[in-house]
Amino acid sequence: MDRVSRRTRVLTNHLIGPPPETLLAANPCLNYSPPELSEPSEFDPKAMRSLLDAHNLQQRDWLFGLLIQSPLFNPRTAAGKVFVSPDYNQSMQQQREMTMKRITYLLDRGVFHGWLTEKGPEAEMRKFAFFEVIGIYDHSLAVKLGVHFFLWGGAIQFFGTKRHHDKWLRDTENYAIKGCFAMSELGHGSNVRGIETVTTYDKNTGEFVISTPCESAQKYWIGGAANHATHTIVFSQLNINGSNQGVHAFIAQIRDADGNVCPDIRIADCGHKIGLNGVDNGRIWFDNVRIPRENLLNSVADVSLDGQYLSSIKDPDQRFAAFLAPLTSGRVTISVSAIYSSKISLAIAIRYALTRRAFSLTPNGPEVLLLDYPSHQRRLLPLLAKTYAMSFAANYLKEIYVKRTPESNKTIHVVSSAFKATLTWHNMRTLQECREACGGQGLKTENRVGHMKAEYDVQSTFEGDNNVLMQQVSKALLAEYIAVQKKNKPFKGLGLEHMNGAHPVIPSQLTSSTLGSSQFQMDAFCLRERDLLNRFSMEVSQHQKHGQSKEHAFILSYQLAEDLGRAFSDRAILQTFLDAEATIPDVFGKLRSMYALICLEEEAAFLRYGYLSMENAAAIRKEVTKLCSELRPHALALVSSFGIPDAFLSPIAFNWIDSNSWSSTQH
């Protein structure tokens, strides 16, 4: 056929069209169908929620209702449903003032009763439950409260003695004073020991004198300082008679009752941030500020009236460690908060994927639900399994924290450091994947997921940079390893008892039944942790033999330190899942296997150090895909089990067609 004839035929086909039997039928308009109509549950989501939330369910639901019913929490209606979330179109200053108004509303309704004045695990768990509900609504509100109660209030509880408790705790709980926590400086964040603020003692007047000697010593990122705080805990080097006694904590007033900045105090705003603009972060300079001697928080050390330094802890390293106790509660609340953030984003993205369709498999066939695509399952369901696993880990962390003893403080420090890093990294990855999985709708602030990325990004940094925390975990494990070697005693504590047994062996060929075995999964995780701890010890030792100091040897071994920290965290999380599994439905076996196998697949260490062969890695990849299809029918029930009320999700989690209709724009 010549060129002219061929072009004539093409044009004719365009004008006349194909034969009738191949014509595509016009698709009818899309209609929203609630996923509950087509996604039956094989278990009771309410019973599952009781396992996930673990405590104070009635109090949580009471507080959810309290937030929904007040106009202060910005309720709005979409497709006949009420949703609550902050108005992020407000200016930074408006958001800050709304945060304080919401705190006043909660205070007046008794939400904070007993947060600092009641003791015992029951009171602490109730406080955690309320704090988690508040965080589900707004991270700024939770952070503002966390600084006041957990950091300022926690410092007085932990560092102070009866005189401080009597004077400050009830006024803090009632918001008669507003506290903040001045630890970070422009020049020092994670390295608290290096802070440059200096405090001296004037024995002629019986006062401490706090000074900011240089610009890098200005207190920075101090939540509450820019607008509202009246008092602060100041972390400072204590210089007594020319001798530096290290970092200590002091109470200083920075504003009077009318909100005026006190003499010899300078305060500046940190300015607009990528998120958390409802928190008034500020900077503080101290120009020889005088405070009473009694304002030294003296549970660890004191200074006598005549200027003598007194401490029952003679070792400066142990004394410094004692001063970091309040950060443990911060790491606990951050870890839990990260998992609730992941739950919100997964509930929204999975509900959307159960009603949103895209592309047909046949010319006139129905479009396919997003979650029926294996690729979409692969994006969301492993993250769902990880979130379940980390929910149990977060509950375990809360439990050991509220039951803490002096003997358990080391374990709490190590576990909270590992979980804070692992859970917040997981949250940021989950938020990003859920944002993408929601397509363009994920970019709308009202749909929460995209905006939450900016709100929660800071969790990787505050209360300890995640990478630094993981190195602290590895340091603690190495110290335990060396101590066991020296004493020639078995491992006890930190979950390292598996090191006392035989070396786990991975089968050369992994079948589906082996991959689903909890014994195999735990063996693989223990093998990695055990081997990496041995390797890490050997590498640090080799560097020291070549003349490096212990600290420099550790720095040079950072890659193994990071791998070991993740191995410890992953194994500890899996253990909490196994501990919970005895009381849970069969679907949890699949979730636990998904968690374990996705860790095996994604963590390069399993291939890097030869724990898995290429063939076994391929078998694991295939099994993960199979588990995705097996978990798919349970997806709705699993996110419903999070127990997050509809009002705290977003319009695209429900009738996203009606919520975007023309009529919705007329309200």
Annotated binding site for FAD: 223
What secondary structure, in 3-state letters, does 548-568 show? Answer: CCHHHHHHHCHHHHHHHHHHH
The secondary structure of 192-224 as a DSSP string is GGG---EEEEETTTTEEEEE--SGGGSEEEEET
The length of the chain, given as a count of residues? 667
How far apart are alpha carbons 60 and 131 in whole angstroms?
Answer: 9
For residue 632, CA distances in Å to 139, 351, 377, 386, 495 come to: 30, 12, 7, 15, 33
How far apart are alpha carbons 443 and 435 in whole angstroms?
Answer: 7
The reply to whether 185 belongs to the active site is no
How many other β-carbons are positioned within 10 Å of the β-carbon of residue 505?
A: 8
Burial 76-107 (b: 16+ CB within 10 A, else e): eebbebebbbbebeeebeebbbbbbebbeebe
**Which 8-state DSSP code applies to residue 185?**
B
Which entry of 124, 196, 455, 463 is annotated as an active-site residue?
Answer: 463
How far apart are alpha carbons 446 and 441 in whole angstroms?
Answer: 9
List beta partners, residue 78: 81
Tokens coding 111: 């939400």
Q: Roughly how many angstroms between the first and final C-alpha of the chain, as a whole number?
A: 63
627 in Cβ contact with 592 (< 8 Å): no
How far apart are alpha carbons 425 and 384 in whole angstroms?
Answer: 14
The three-point CA angle 504-507-512 to 5° equals 120
φ and ψ at residue 576, rounded to 5 degrees: -65, -35
The secondary structure of 129-182 as a DSSP string is HHHHHHHHH-HHHHHHHIIIIIIIIHHHHHH--HHHIIIIIHHHHTTSS-EEEE
3-state secondary structure of 369: strand
What secondary structure, in 3-state letters, does 279-310 show? Answer: CCEEEEEECCEEEEHHHECCCCEEECCCCCEE
List beta partners, residue 202: 207
Nearest to 403 by CA among 157, 51, 119, 145: 119
φ and ψ at residue 505, rounded to 5 degrees: -125, 130
User: Exposed, middle or buried: residue 397 (CB in 10 Å: 0-12, 13-18, 19+)?
Assistant: buried
Give the catalytic positions in this structure.
Answer: 463
